Chains A and B, each alone.
Chain A
Amino acid sequence: MQPASQESQRIVITGIGLAAPNGADPRAFRASLLEGKSGVQPYEIRYVGKTLAGVCEYDKLRYQSKKDVRRGTKAGSIGIYSANEAIRDAGLDWSAVDRSRVGVYLGITEHGNVETENEVYALQGYRFDTSFWSHHHNPRTVANNPAGEVALNLSIWGPHYTIGAACAAGNAGLIQGAQMLRLGDCDLALAGGVSESIHTFGIFASFKSQGALAAHDDPAKASRPFDLHRNGIVVAEGGCVFVLERLDDARRRGARVHGELVGYAMNTDATDFVLPNPERQAECVALALRRAGLRPDQIDIVSTHATGTLSGDAQECDALRRVFADCPRTFFNNTKSFIGHAMGAAGALELAGNLGAFDDGLCHATINVDTLDPECALPGLVIGSPRAVGPVRYLLNNSFGMLGTNSVVIIGRPDDR
């Protein structure tokens, strides 16, 4: 049952599929990040009215019928698109894959709000007579929906479920997939995160009430982590699914490896519903490093979580200073400055956006920092345009969430590069 060899405990990424607000495949996404192209646009949603959001443009019907799109959820649709693209990228002959040995592990920040809001809105037109409530409500809102839709679409008979971990969920999905591979619970994991959150007014209204919803005359400038004048979060939709395999399996089939998961950690602040705790965040980063057997100065690029809130960005920088105090060759960037906060997809998308650095040696930037907040002035923060940082060996990806959930993954350059 349990794989025994050391190589079977090494987990590698062999496929990437994604839908980001500024790119619907890894190459387009990477190009947008290097070109400074934002995916944030004007957006309107019931009750809240005009606001801003990161909106994805991808071909919904590439892997689904119109009927399946209608019946399912947006998170399911994004998951199906991303999973199919990842399988294609991995070069897998899907008809030859033992589908009983495939697992689907998708991180979500929330799920079901969109569908519930839509039903309540429609029910209002029927004077709240619940006989008009859709029979689709339950299958759309069960927490495993996005992963289940992927399994249905791809005829996957292994385990499928979502991992609810607020905005740390994208990393959490990746970690879960790796753990299941190490346990021998599956031979191939489709792991990552998805978000349909821009379709629920509640998330916008709640951030607004919290004083944490970004606003700016220029949509492309609204998401501005680390800028002194940042004023909150731009909500985004998106998804990213990785094909994960054990290294020996990947080598056996001659798969191209995008990176190796060399370390990870998750922990909990246990201090506040929304405010982060830099001490626990630093411990989480340090734990991931320890498990990877790496020193902080061996990390080439840190993909920060920062969302554009006043306190959150500064707290993360506090945490990062504690760990990377004397690491002049470690660079920091932020992907949310381009696409907004893709919630459950954020961790996975932001990692995917950085993986290209193994090939091009570039650290994409943090954009929209017109006036750097002194509290966020990390020495290696890459601002404005990409920076050539030379050969990249290790990426560290932060992803933190409400109720104090923290996740960190460290990805190593493939052996053959």
Chain B
Amino acid sequence: MTAAEIREEILDILSDIAPDEDLSGLEDGVAFRDQLELDSMDFLDIVMELRKRHRIQIPEEDYGALASMASTVEYLTPRMKDMERA
């Protein structure tokens, strides 16, 4: 998956986790928490969805990398580059 495809995948996961949010104006460089109503359980949902959809295991010490869209894509790109989008 390319960085753009990974971004799309994260948006898809976010639309499931935060169905009331308008994600069209999401700013990639700004922390999710500063622009969306997300709490720690929601972040665990992102981790779980990545695990379920792509079998990616994200260790707890790396959770900080999921703070924003930009940091999430950067973190996942090397880990998902050989994967196909589901």
Give the B-binding residues of A (Cβ under 8 A). 65-67, 70-71, 126, 131-132, 134-136
Contact = CB atoms under 8 A, between A and B. Distances in A.
Interface of B: 16-20, 37, 41, 44-45, 48, 51-52, 57
Given A135-B41, A136-B41, A67 B18 contact: yes
9 closest pairs, A vs B, by CB? A66-B19, A65-B20, A135-B44, A66-B20, A67-B20, A67-B18, A67-B19, A132-B52, A135-B41
Nearest to A70: B19
A134 B48 contact: yes
Given A67-B17, A131-B51, 18 more contacts: A65-B19, A65-B20, A66-B20, A67-B18, A67-B37, A70-B16, A70-B17, A70-B19, A71-B41, A126-B52, A131-B57, A132-B48, A132-B51, A132-B52, A135-B44, A135-B45, A135-B48, A136-B41
Contact residues of A: prevailing secondary structure: helix
Nearest to B21: A67
Contacts of A67: 17-20, 37
A66 B37 CA distance: 12
Contacts, number: 25
A67 B45 CA distance: 12
Nearest to B40: A135
Contacts of A132: 48, 51-52
A71 B16 CA distance: 11
15 contacts: A65-B19, A66-B19, A67-B19, A67-B20, A67-B37, A70-B16, A70-B19, A71-B41, A126-B52, A131-B51, A131-B57, A132-B51, A132-B52, A135-B48, A136-B41
A131 B47 CA distance: 11
Contacts of B18: 67
A132 B44 CA distance: 11
A135 B45 CA distance: 8
A404 to B, nearest CB: 39
Nearest to B41: A135
Nearest to B38: A67
Contacts of B37: 67
A184 B52 CA distance: 50
